[in-house]
Amino acid sequence: MPRVTVVMAVYNAAQFLHEALASVLAQTYRDFELIVVDDASSDSSLAIAESFHDSRVRIIRHETNKSASLSRNDALAVARGEFVAIMDADDVCAPTRLERQVAFLDAHPLVGLVGCAVYDNIDASGAVLHTSYAPEENEAIQRIMMERWCFFHSSLMFRRALYEQVGGYRKEFEPAEDHDFILRILEHSQAHNLNERLVSYRLNPNGLSIARYRYVDELRELAMHLANRRRSGQPEDLAREIARSRELRQGYKVPSGLVAAAQAWRDSWNAANRYYGFGCRELCASRLDRARRCFVRSLRTNGLFVKSWIGVALSLMPFAANRLKIVFRSSMQLNNNLMVACLSQHDVDHLAAVVDGTPGH
């Protein structure tokens, strides 16, 4: 019986899937199984998964699209490992990820869930844009999770017994189902984030929509409201919250015509501002190559984002950049909310498909 089960939900992830799978199979820790759930992909995702002739790989194929939540639940239902590691189909594991997380859980029996507190945000080519940080200690995690999201979902490993205790992901909260799931786990266990780069997160600019962020935030509010009720000994009243989540989904309308064009412009500006925020942080840390990469990505998203043009120029002039860091520190503070939102970007990346009722994770 494998000690660890790695769960990967896949939908139309052909562009990055091979790299993601290869990073799992290259782990220094060898005692694991990898369950890949192909959720009726229409691209070559299934063929890519099947191309790995490794006895540790198990593939589940959905004939119709079910969602990321139910795909993970299908894998969890047949998982054999004592520990379960979540992995997304476009991220990349460090070779020691499983080894370090298993060792930590073995050494800390009261901790039921562990992630990584440090992770690189990478672009499509794998180049690092920015390094993000999450809280490490259980006390901080428990507090912050009742206010906002503070994990990198694709870096998580948890004890399978906890999944059996609390149940799986609840589709009604998708695409904030990770927040709801982990809040339920934290009611029975401690958590920790290792201060190590164990997984790299692939940024997807297509998911940077202001309206979608608001929708995700509202679903997270519902999940935290239920957690507050459970922790205070009140009934969960799940049916009412599910009805509320359906109202939110129905209230999310995909615009058309001029309204859609205006929304697309605002979204591109929002995305450019987010990359600009990354660039400010890298500039203040004197990592000029990274800063320039972020500013260029910002301009590719919206060429009229003037501050990023200034950022590019300063990244090419180290002396001037050092003198003007105070200006960029101010901009960095203004972007804090966007940096926090980045922690759950995978949920947002596929939100349009979820709320529109079309296939997607």
Q: How confident is the model at residue 354, as a pLDDT?
A: 33
CA distances from 287 to 146, 192, 225, 291, 343 (A): 34, 29, 41, 6, 21
Kindly state whether residue 350 falls inside one of the protein's structural domains. no
Segment 74-122, tens digit of pLDDT: 999 999 999 999 999 999 999 999 999 999 999 999 999 999 999 999 9
Q: Count Cβ atoms below 10 Å from residue 307 Cβ, excluding itself.
A: 18
Q: Within this chain, do residues 54 and 188 fall inside the same structural domain, yes or no?
A: yes
Q: Within this chain, do residues 179 and 240 fall inside the same structural domain, yes or no?
A: no
- Could you tell me the pTM of the whole model? 0.83
Tell me the CATH number at 71.
Answer: 3.90.550.10
* Angle at the Cα of 250 from the Cα atoms of 358 and 147, rounded to 5 degrees: 100
Tell me, rounded to whole angstroms, the distance of Cα 274 from its chain centroid: 16
Contact criterion met (CB below 8 Å) for 86 and 7: yes
Could you identify the residue written with the tokens 């205790």? Answer: 165
Pairing status of strand 199-202 against strand 92-93: antiparallel
Q: Within this chain, do residues 202 and 177 fall inside the same structural domain, yes or no?
A: yes
What is the rounded CA–CA span in Å between residue 174 and residue 325?
40
Asked if pLDDT for residue 231 goes beyond 50, the answer is: yes
Kindly state whether residue 221 falls inside one of the protein's structural domains. yes
Mean pLDDT of 299-323: 83
CA distances from 313 to 268, 291, 322 (A): 22, 11, 13
Q: How confident is the model at residue 252, as a pLDDT?
A: 65
Minimum mean pLDDT range among 131-140, 157-166, 204-213: 204-213
**Nearest CA to 201 among 263, 162, 155?**
155
Percent of the chain with pLDDT over 90: 61
Minimum mean pLDDT range among 39-53, 77-91, 235-249, 262-276: 235-249
Q: Within this chain, do residues 243 and 111 fall inside the same structural domain, yes or no?
A: no
Number of domains composing the chain: 3
Q: How confident is the model at residue 238, as a pLDDT?
A: 79
Q: Within this chain, do residues 18 and 106 fall inside the same structural domain, yes or no?
A: yes
Kindly state whether residue 357 falls inside one of the protein's structural domains. no
Segment 269-309, tens digit of pLDDT: 888 888 898 898 888 888 899 999 999 999 998 999 999 99
Q: How confident is the model at residue 230, as a pLDDT?
A: 92
Asked if pLDDT for residue 249 goes beyond 90, the answer is: no
Peptide bond into 175 cis (omega under 30): yes
Q: Within this chain, do residues 161 and 67 fall inside the same structural domain, yes or no?
A: yes
Q: How confident is the model at residue 203, as a pLDDT?
A: 84
Q: Within this chain, do residues 244 and 180 fall inside the same structural domain, yes or no?
A: no
What is the rounded CA–CA span in Å between residue 203 and residue 125?
11
Average pLDDT in the chain: 85
With residues binned 3-state (H G I as helix, E B as strand, rest as coil), the percentages for the chain, rounded to 5, are 55, 15, 30
Q: Within this chain, do residues 251 and 313 fall inside the same structural domain, yes or no?
A: no
Q: Within this chain, do residues 280 and 234 fall inside the same structural domain, yes or no?
A: no
User: Among 205-209, 333-337, 346-350, which range has the highest average pLDDT?
Assistant: 205-209
CA distances from 187 to 114, 140, 194, 230 (A): 15, 14, 20, 9
Kindly state whether residue 267 falls inside one of the protein's structural domains. yes
Q: Within this chain, do residues 75 and 144 fall inside the same structural domain, yes or no?
A: yes
Q: Within this chain, do residues 94 and 194 fall inside the same structural domain, yes or no?
A: yes
Contact criterion met (CB below 8 Å) for 72 and 168: yes
Q: Within this chain, do residues 286 and 155 fall inside the same structural domain, yes or no?
A: no
Kindly state whether residue 71 falls inside one of the protein's structural domains. yes
Kindly state whether residue 352 falls inside one of the protein's structural domains. no
What is the rounded CA–CA span in Å between residue 332 and residue 283?
10
Q: How confident is the model at residue 260, as a pLDDT?
A: 75
Kindly state whether residue 349 falls inside one of the protein's structural domains. no
Kindly state whether residue 354 falls inside one of the protein's structural domains. no
Range of the domain at 280: 257-342
CA distances from 322 to 209, 288, 293, 315, 318 (A): 33, 10, 18, 10, 6
Q: How confident is the model at residue 331, as a pLDDT?
A: 55
Q: How confident is the model at residue 361, as a pLDDT?
A: 43
Q: How confident is the model at residue 190, as a pLDDT?
A: 97
